[in-house]
Structure 1
Amino acid sequence: MSRRTTTSNEEFHKVLSSSKHIFVISGAGLSAGSGIPTYRGKGGLWKQNDVMKLSTTAGWVDSPSRMWQFYESRRALALRAQPNEAHYALARFSIPKIRHEMAPESHFTLVTQNIDGLCQRALQKVSNETDNIDAATSLPIEMHGSIFEVACTNYSCKHREWNDDSPICPALAVDDGGVEDRAGDPVVASRSRFEILREELGRRLNATNNEEVNEQNAAVDERLATCEGSEHVVPTAELPKCTKCGSLVRPGVVWFGESPRHMDEIEKEVEKADICLVVGTSSTVHPAAGFVNTIRQRGGKVAVFNVEWTRDWTPDFLFLGPCKETLPAALGTSK
C-alpha cells in the first residue's frame, strides 16, 4: 500500500496520541540551531577538513596531536553552545508526566548520534524547572559516545571518565573566544545514563545568544580549516593523560569502523516502536538508517523533521525546516 505524506500537525498529533512506543533518532541538524556546524551540510566539517582522517583509528595512529587539536576545538564549541528549542522539546517529551498529556500510554526512547551533550543538558534544565523527573524518565542514549568522555588507550587499563575541562590540557589551549564565565546551564555527565537523576555537575556555561555563538564559531572554524598539514605538532607527552595509569587518552567518541554504543538496548526499542521520529538527520548512514527502515517495514509511522529529505521513499509526515522551529509545535511542547 502506498503512503501519503502530510505536513499537518493535527494529523501527526492524532497518530502520536495513540502511539505506545515512540522512537526518536536525532542527528547533527538538531544541534545546528545551537551554532554547531553539521558534517555534511553547507559549510559542514566534511568541506572544511578531511573528516575521515579525523574520525578513524588510522587517523589517531597517524597523528594523535592532529586528532586532539580537532576535538579540543569541537569541545570548545560544544561547551559554548546552548540547547535550542528542539532539544528542550525532546527533553520535555522525555518526562512521562509531560508526555502523557499528548500521548497518554506511550513509552519514549531518544537515541542521538550527536556527541555534544546538548540533549542531556536540556533534560537537566527541564527537570530542574519542572521537578518532574523520575525513574521513568527516558534518558538520551548517546550511540556515538560523548566528546566529554576520555578513554585510556592502555589496553590493560581501559579507564574512561568524564572531563569537560577547557582546555583539557595546557598544550591544547586555543584562542577561540573561550568560555569566560561558565555561569549558565549545567553540563551533565554521561558516565552513567542514570546519574542524571541524582547529580548536577558544578561546572556551568556562559549564556550567550546564538548570534554571538555563531560569530565565535566562525573564528574557531577558520582554525579547524588548518587542522591538517600546517598545524603544529603537540608532543605526545603533552597530550591528555589517563588519571589512573598516566597513559595517553583519546576522545571517548565512536569513530568510523568502531561499534556504536548501547546497540542491544537500541535494537530492543526499535523492535517495539510503532512510530519513528527522524530529527535533524537524513538517516542514510547505518546503523541509524536501519532503525528507520525496520520500523517502517513493520508498519510503523515515520515522521521527518529536517531541512531536507533526500531518501527515495516517502515518510508519513514531513516537516521541512529547522528542527528548533518545527519540532516544538509538532510535539505540543512549545512554551
Structure 2
Amino acid sequence: MTPKTIFVLTGAGISAESGLGTFRDRGGLWARFDPMRLATPEAYAADPDTVLDFYNHRRRGVIAAEPNAAHRALARAEARLSALGGRLFLCTQNVDDLHERAGSAAVVHMHGELLKARCTACARTSERRTDIVRTDSCPRCEAVGTLRPDVVWFGEMPLHLEAIEAALAESDLFLAVGTSGAVYPAAGYVRLARAHAIPTCEINLNPSDNADAFDDARYGPASVTLPAYLSDRGLQ
C-alpha cells in the first residue's frame, strides 16, 4: 500500500556513501576532532580562523561529493507522491546539498546549510561556495569579519522546529534514514510519531541508539535498502 503522506528524516548516514563523513560513528568527525573547539559559538569567538578553516574544508568536500542512489530514490518518491496527490516532507539533519542535487524539490535543513554564510551583524544569509575568511565582507550589510557558516552549532537552536513537528503530526508514515538516534530533538521524532499512532521505520547501516522505538527496520547500505523499501510501496 502506498502511503499518502510520508515524513522522512535523514542523517549523516545517507551521505556517507557519497564520501561525506559521519559524526558519531567510530572514526567519525567527532571521534577525530573536538566539537567544543570547532562547532560552538564560543569556539568561533575564541578562534575564528580555526573554525572557519574546518568548515572551509568541509564545504570543499560537499562540493566535490555527488548524490548517491538513496538521495535519488527520495527525489523519485517525492515526485511520485506528488503525482498521486500526496506529499513527502523531507527533513534533514545534514548541512550538505545532496538532496537538492538529486532532485528533491523541498528540503528542510534543521541544522542549517554549509553552502550558505550567515552574518553575525545583520543575521542575513547568502549563498557561499568559496572559503570564508575574516577579511570577507557581508554581501548584505557590508560589515567586515562577520561571516560564519550558516550551520547550527552545539548550544544553538535547530531551525524550522514548528513546521517540522506540524508536518510530522500530519503524516501517515515516519521514515528515518541514516540517523544516529543520538541528537535531539531529531532523535525524539520517532516517539512523537508513535504518540500520533504513525507507523515508523528505520533504514540504517546498523541499529541506531533509539532503534527500539521503531515499528520496523531495514539494515544495510542506504543506497540499496532505501530504494527497495520505497519500491515495495510503489514509490519508485
TM-score (ref. length: structure 2): 0.91
Amino acid aligned to 1:99: L
C-alpha displacement at 1:287, in angstroms?
0.9
**2-side partners of 1:24 and 1:122: how far apart?**
15
Distance in 2 between residues matched to 1:105 and 1:159, nearest whole Å:
35
Cα distance in structure 2, aligned partners of 1:43 and 1:32: 12
Q: Does 1:41 align with 2:25?
A: yes
**C-alpha offsets along residues 42-85 of structure 1, whole Å, 9 cap, x if unaligned?**
21001110012211111111111010000000001000000000
Q: Is 2:110 aligned against 1:143?
A: yes
Other structure's SS at 1:89 match: helix
The aligned counterpart of 1:245 is: 142
Is 1:302 the counterpart of 2:212? The answer is: no
User: Offset of 1:100 from its aligned partner?
Assistant: 6.2
Q: CA deviation at 1:168?
A: 4.3
Matched, 1:93 2:77: yes
Conserved 8 A contact 2:117-2:125: yes
Is the CA contact 1:282–1:308 (under 8 Å) kept in the aligned structure 2?
no
Choose 266-275 or 306-315, whichever is displaced more.
306-315
Task: Give the secondary-structure state (helix, strand or coil) at the position aligned to 1:250.
Answer: strand
How do 1:283-322 residues align onto structure 2 when only pairs under 5 Å count?
A: 283-309=181-207, 310-311=209-210, 313-322=212-221
**Separation of aligned partners in 1, 2:36 and 2:13:** 20
Inter-partner Cα distance in structure 1 for 2:132 and 2:42: 23
Unpaired runs of 5+ in structure 2? none
Task: State the Cα distance separating 1:105 from its structure 2 match.
Answer: 5.2
CA distance in 2, matches of 1:242, 1:75: 18
Report the identity percentage: 37
Rounded to whole Å, the distance in 2 between the matches of 1:159 and 1:82 is: 28
1:88 maps to amino acid? R
Equivalent positions of 1:1-335 (< 5 A) are 14=1, 17=2, 19-95=3-79, 98-99=80-81, 104=84, 106-123=86-103, 139-154=106-121, 157-165=122-130, 167-168=131-132, 236=134, 238=135, 240-243=136-139, 244-247=141-144, 248-309=146-207, 310-311=209-210, 313-332=212-231
* C-alpha distance in 2 between matches for 1:314 and 1:252: 32
The alpha carbon displacement at 1:297 in A equals 2.1
**Pair member with larger Rg:** 1
Pick closer, same or farther for the CA change 1:158–1:298 going to 2, 3 Å.
closer
RMSD in angstroms over aligned alpha carbons? Answer: 2.0
TM-score, normalised to structure 1, is 0.65
Flag as ranges the 4+ runs of structure 1 deviating above 3 A.
Answer: none
CA distance in 2, matches of 1:78, 1:149: 12
For residue 284 of structure 1, report the CA deviation from its aligned partner: 2.7
Q: Which amino acid aligns with 1:330?
A: Y
